[in-house]
């Protein structure tokens, strides 16, 4: 009987290797800091808008009262 034997030779193209290491690029703390900064910006602009709107209403009310008082004087 004849034995069947196959021989294979494996060669590497280079004898170098590449080591790939993965790290998280965005930490949980950085995420919390960015969320807090965005919330602060939004809430700050909301408060500024509220203050400006309140200021506008006060100016509108005082102007209306002055106009009303001056028309009452003219009617008398």
Read off the pLDDT of each residue in 12-25 and give the average, rounded to a whole number: 84
Write the pLDDT tens digit of every residue in 26-36: 899 999 999 99
| 74: confidence class by pLDDT, cuts 50, 70, 90 | low
CA 25, 29, 32 angle in degrees (round to 5)?
A: 110
- DSSP class of 15: S
Model-level pTM greater than 0.85? Answer: no
């Amino acid at each position: 009987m004849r034995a069947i034997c196959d021989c294979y030779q494996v060669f590497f193209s280079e004898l170098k290797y590449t080591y790939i290491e993965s790290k998280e690029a965005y930490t949980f703390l950085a995420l919390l800091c960015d969320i807090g900064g965005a919330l602060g910006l939004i809430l700050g602009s909301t408060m500024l808008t509220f203050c400006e709107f309140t200021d506008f209403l006060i100016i509108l009310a005082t102007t209306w009262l002055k106009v009303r008082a001056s028309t009452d004087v003219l009617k008398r």
